């Protein structure tokens, strides 16, 4: 089945037609790293990882760029609070983010640029915009001139009074038009800054993604994605910058936006304080359970976060791994059609999960799981997982006890072998005797 995706630009589902079928290009906006990311921030990462996997199955070459924003005023404030350098903070939090996303089964993107590595490209892009009349310098700032772009606002479809609603309250004196937005701003001695034609300063947020996508994917590319909250102003402004700098009719052909992960009906966010970090959840649940929960709703729909949801997701995976256990085989070459067809329809992951429930064959189950980035481990390893901080026997101690029980059984000392089994059970370890020997799981 051919791939159909919902394009925010047209507000319609459209067939996916790459600019160059020999090389598909995808950009996803990553997080601003000043602390551990929350599980809402993981939703675009996991959803568009399923897209990346699908594109890789269909097209010869896919380049996937997912950036890390490591320049931001929240970062400056946090580093000062922590009494550490900005670099120390963003290196630590950026690395933690990458490791947490790996533990959620997200494939590493082809490029994962950090904004600080592209400041030269940002300055070059801003110079181009100033040169062709789309931007102007004022008071140490450089601003994008919104009236210079007649079709500004096409993505968000916001009327002009809404475009300036946020800026109206207190319009900065250096703005020629209230809707104009910052490309470059001055830095004080205490703030991080780079030398530029407009003095020492730092880039605005939107220009970062235009520079990184332009440098790594080209002036136009296929898909640009991120969360719903990025449509305006972030993506609208990225489009304005890139199209005006390069003189192109589009920046990306398809714009995809995931819905929010909510908690008690409210958007999970750092500012509301109603969040769980991926890092802390990974202590309590296996990464694949968190991933399955994130895929349990289609990516555009809102999704409620609950601990019961995570427990249920773990139980589902217990069942699937139970089918695989002791019957290991490599995944079948093709993703089962029920799964592939569901994903081809704008990444209908709940339908794909329903299709996986119908699969009884280990090879097909593995292949269906692969398409969702699930069932990526050995079944035995899955059942050995335990939450962090659980007291109880280690894997080595359990295996030694099983060997001792085996020896007792061989010596027909069934009292001893039962004692060992009951002792393990009391410690939360369940033994199962099968034709191929004894396996165990943490219950
Ligand atoms: P930020 O660091 O705030 O720019 O967020 C990084 C990514 O996470 C962006 O694509 C956001 O749209 C997305 N995001 C933030 N909060 C949520 C949420 N509660 N649910 C889904 N996506 C979110
Ligand atoms: Zn971006």
**Residue 197 CB burial class (10 angstroms; 0-12, 13-18, ≥19):** exposed
CB neighbours of 194 closer than 8 A, spacing ≥ 6?
119, 123, 200, 201, 202
Q: Ligand 1: which of 41, 51, 78 to mutate, most ligand atoms within 8 Å of CB?
A: 41
Instruction: Determine which residue's CA is closest to atom 9 belonging to ligand 1.
Output: 227
Q: Determine the 3-state secondary structure of 184 from DSSP.
A: strand
Q: pLDDT tens, 252-274? A: 999 999 999 999 999 999 999 99
Higher-pLDDT residue of 436 and 151 is: 151
Spatial neighbors of 70 by CB under 8 A, at least 6 apart, are: 32, 33, 90, 94, 114, 115, 116
Share of the chain above pLDDT 70, in %: 99
Judged against a pLDDT cut of 70, whether residue 148 lies above it is answered with yes
Tell me the C-alpha distance between 333 and 329, whole Å: 12
Query: What is the Cα–Cα distance from 437 to 313, expressed in whole angstroms?
Result: 29
Q: Report the separation in Å between the CA atom of 206 and the middle of ligand 2, taken as the mean of its atom positions.
A: 6
Contacts 24+ apart (CB under 8 A), 389-397: 389/283, 390/428, 390/442, 392/427, 392/428, 392/429, 392/442, 393/424, 393/427, 393/429
For the CA of 234, the closest atom of ligand 1 is 4
Q: What are the phi and psi torsion angles at 263 (to 5°)?
A: -135, 125
From CA 115, how far away is CA 409, in angstroms rounded?
A: 62
Ligand 1 atom showing the smallest separation from residue 259 Cα: 21
Q: What is the CB neighbour count within 10 angstroms for residue 173?
A: 7
- Residues 343-402: tens digit of each pLDDT: 999 999 999 999 999 999 999 999 999 999 999 999 999 999 999 988 889 888 899 999
Mean pLDDT for the stretch of residues 49-67: 97
Across the range 179-191, mean pLDDT stands at 95
**Residue 166 — pLDDT band, cuts 50, 70, 90?**
low
Query: Could you say which ligand is closest to the alpha carbon of residue 231?
Result: 1
**Quick one: tokens of 66?**
């997912």
pLDDT band at 168, cuts 50/70/90?
low
How remote is the CA of residue 266 from the centroid of ligand 2, in Å? 23
Which pLDDT band holds residue 90 (cuts at 50, 70, 90)?
very high
Q: Report the nearest atom of ligand 1 relative to the CA of 268.
A: 19
List all residues 6 or more positions away from 52 whose beta carbon is below 8 Å from its beta carbon: 26, 62, 64, 107, 109
Ligand 1 midpoint to CA 385 (Å): 29
What pLDDT, in 10s, does the model give residues 133-142?
A: 999 999 999 9
**From the CA of 425, how far away is ligand 1's center (Å)?**
42
Q: 234 alpha carbon to ligand 2 midpoint, in Å?
A: 6
Q: Report how far residue 57's alpha carbon sits from residue 382's, in angstroms, rounded to the nearest whole number.
A: 26
Residue 162 pLDDT level (bands cut at 50, 70, 90): confident
Which residues have C-beta atoms less than 6 Å from ligand 1? Answer: 29, 31-32, 40-41, 43-44, 226-227, 229-230, 258, 260-261, 267-269
The answer to whether residues 343 and 370 touch, using CB atoms and an 8 Å cutoff, is no
The residues, ordered by sequence, that sit 6+ positions from 17 with a Cβ below 8 Å of its Cβ are 253
* Atom in ligand 1 nearest the alpha carbon of residue 32: 2
Average model confidence (pLDDT) across the chain: 95
Residue nearest to atom 12 of ligand 1 (CA): 227
Looking at residue 434, its pLDDT comes to: 84
Q: Is the pLDDT of residue 179 over 80?
A: yes
Instruction: Please tell me the residue having the least CA distance from ligand 1 atom 14.
Output: 41
Q: Which helix (H) or strand (E) holds 434?
A: strand 429-434
Q: Given a cut of 60, is residue 37 above it in pLDDT?
A: yes
Q: Please tell me the predicted confidence (pLDDT) of residue 436.
A: 76
Closest listed ligand to the CA of 234: 2
Residue that has been written with the tokens 């390893």 in this structure? 381
The stretch 159-180 carries a mean pLDDT of 79
C-alpha of residue 304 to centroid of ligand 1, in Å? 15
161 vs 189, which has greater pLDDT? 189
Question: How many Å lie between the centroid of ligand 2 and the Cα of residue 221?
Answer: 14
Classify residue 32 by its DSSP letter.
B
SS3 20: coil
Residues 63 and 26: beta-carbon distance below 8 Å: yes
Check residue 170 and give its pLDDT.
74
Tokens coding 310: 């995570």
């Amino acid at each position: 089945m051919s791939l159909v995706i919902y394009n925010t630009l047209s507000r319609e589902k459209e067939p996916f037609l790459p600019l160059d079928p020999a090389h598909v290009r995808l950009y996803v906006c990553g997080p601003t790293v000043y602390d551990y990311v929350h599980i809402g921030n993981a939703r675009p990462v996991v959803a568009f990882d399923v897209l990346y996997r699908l594109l890789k199955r269909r097209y010869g070459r896919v380049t996937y760029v997912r950036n890390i924003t490591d320049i931001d005023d929240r970062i400056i404030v946090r580093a000062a609070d922590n009494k550490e350098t900005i670099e120390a903070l963003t290196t630590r939090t950026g690395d933690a983010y990458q490791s947490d996303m790996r533990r959620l089964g997200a494939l590493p993107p082809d490029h994962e640029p950090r904004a600080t590595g592209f400041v030269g490209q940002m300055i070059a892009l801003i110079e181009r915009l100033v040169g062709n009349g789309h931007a102007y310098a004022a008071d140490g700032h450089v601003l994008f001139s919104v009236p210079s772009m007649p079709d500004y606002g096409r993505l968000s479809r916001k009327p002009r009074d809404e475009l300036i609603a946020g800026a109206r309250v207190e319009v900065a004196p250096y703005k020629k038009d209230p809707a104009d937005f910052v490309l470059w701003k001055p830095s004080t001695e205490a703030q991080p800054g780079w030398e530029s034609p407009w003095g020492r300063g730092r880039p605005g947020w939107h220009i970062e993604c235009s520079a990184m996508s332009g440098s790594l994917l080209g002036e136009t590319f296929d898909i640009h994605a991120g969360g719903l909250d990025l449509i305006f102003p972030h993506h609208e402004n990225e489009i304005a910058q890139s199209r005006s700098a390069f003189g192109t009719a589009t920046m990306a052909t398809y714009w995809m936006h995931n819905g929010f992960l909510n908690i008690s009906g409210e958007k999970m966010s750092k500012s509301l304080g109603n969040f769980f970090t991926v890092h802390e959840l990974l202590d309590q649940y296996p990464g694949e359970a968190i991933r399955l929960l994130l895929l349990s709703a289609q990516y555009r729909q809102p999704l409620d976060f609950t601990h019961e949801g995570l427990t249920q997701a773990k139980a589902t995976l217990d069942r699937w791994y139970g089918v695989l256990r002791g019957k290991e085989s490599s995944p079948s070459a093709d993703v089962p059609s029920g799964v592939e067809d569901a994903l081809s329809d704008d990444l209908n992951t709940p339908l794909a999960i329903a299709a996986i429930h119908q699969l009884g064959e280990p090879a097909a189950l593995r292949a269906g799981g692969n398409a969702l980035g699930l069932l990526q481990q050995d079944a035995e390893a899955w059942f050995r997982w335990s939450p962090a901080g659980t007291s109880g026997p280690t894997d080595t101690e359990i295996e030694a006890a099983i060997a001792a029980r085996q020896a007792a059984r061989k010596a027909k000392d069934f009292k001893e072998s039962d004692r060992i089994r009951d002792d393990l059970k009391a410690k939360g370890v369940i033994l199962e005797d099968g034709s191929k020997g004894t396996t165990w799981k943490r219950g």
